[in-house]
Amino acid sequence: MDLERMTRAELAAYERAMGAWIVESGGVFWRRVRPLFYRPLLPFEPLDLDSVKPPPQARWGAWQCAVTDPERANGSLAFLMFRNAPAYQLERLDRKRRWEVRAAARHFTIRPLTLPEELQRAYDVFVEFQQRTGYRYRADRVDPRRYAAWAQEVFRHRGARVLGAFEGAQLRAIGILHALVDTLIYATFFAAEQALQRHVASLMLHVVRQMAAGLAGVQRIYAGLRKHGPDATVDQFYLLRGAEVVVQPAYCWVHPVMAWCLRQFRPELLRRLLGEAPESAPQLGVKATTGTSPLRKQ
């Protein structure tokens, strides 16, 4: 399976179409993570603080980015990454993970979707996913009309690859990928509960890693920011299958009024953003970096 590379501007346009609040400032695309709080669209790419121009919308709130100079950091950002993507082989996984992939392959076939109508067939799977997880981002897509509009929008953008997991004629899981320079972004995954019990997530990840290994120039797979609190257990799926938590020095600016509010109502969040809390105990796959790039080929 081939995959067209997206430019940063194309990825920004795609994310806007998906419902994200994206602004450009100083040649960098920024995502509004929360009201008045911004991070770069590609948070794993370190920036030179001397040239950073945060969005004007953040002047009453906060902004955070990974930095090229660790001496100027006041915190950190942690990412889930599969490094050295070209070297992936199923045989290098542990016995249980290999069994999961092979067991799932007896039930499911992964193949690319090429039409919005095919993605629309996964509407019931998406609704079940929303009801099961309570995931609130773009929960409006449980409306069939909004889901259909989303499916149409996905296919309007060059460089979005949609994978479907089929059990016979039934579409049971969806994965969406983007390739950008040397990085494959594993952006979206949802599946029916029964399919998860048959390890469809392991099979989908296996196919994604195979794709990355076969794409010239791709060195890593980005699976998202490291989660905190109860949601951190979700990351274990990736960590047990070869992902690493890569820690990058970061700088966070917080408006004094916003800092006061956070100190009163979300002190743990403020401590984490400003690096005032000690690092938690080491976890599986954690690697700290202090250079100008959070990841290098191993």
Say which residue, 115 or 279, is predicted with more confidence.
115
CA 126/CA 35 separation, integer angstroms? 26
Domains and CATH numbers, the chain: 8-78+248-288 (no CATH), 85-218 (3.40.630.30)
Banded model confidence at residue 281, pLDDT cuts 50, 70, 90:
very low
Q: Please count the residues of the chain.
A: 298
Task: Say what percent of the chain tops pLDDT 70.
Answer: 90
Average confidence score pLDDT of the chain? 88
Nearest of 44, 53, 46 to residue 68 by alpha carbon: 46
| Phi, psi for residue 88 in degrees, rounded to 5 | -65, 135
| 75: enclosing H helix or E strand | strand 75-83
pTM of the predicted model as reported, rounded to 2 decimal places: 0.87
Query: How much is the pLDDT for 232?
Result: 73
- Give the 3-state secondary structure of residue 170: strand
| HEC sequence for 90-105 | HHHCCHHHHHHHHHHH
Q: How much is the pLDDT for 262?
A: 86
Q: Grade residue 270 by pLDDT with cuts at 50, 70 and 90.
A: confident
Which residue, among 261, 288, 292, 259, has the nearest Cα to 274 in the 3D structure? 259
pLDDT at 275 over 90: no
pLDDT in tens, 190-232: 999 999 999 999 999 999 999 999 999 999 999 999 887 666 7
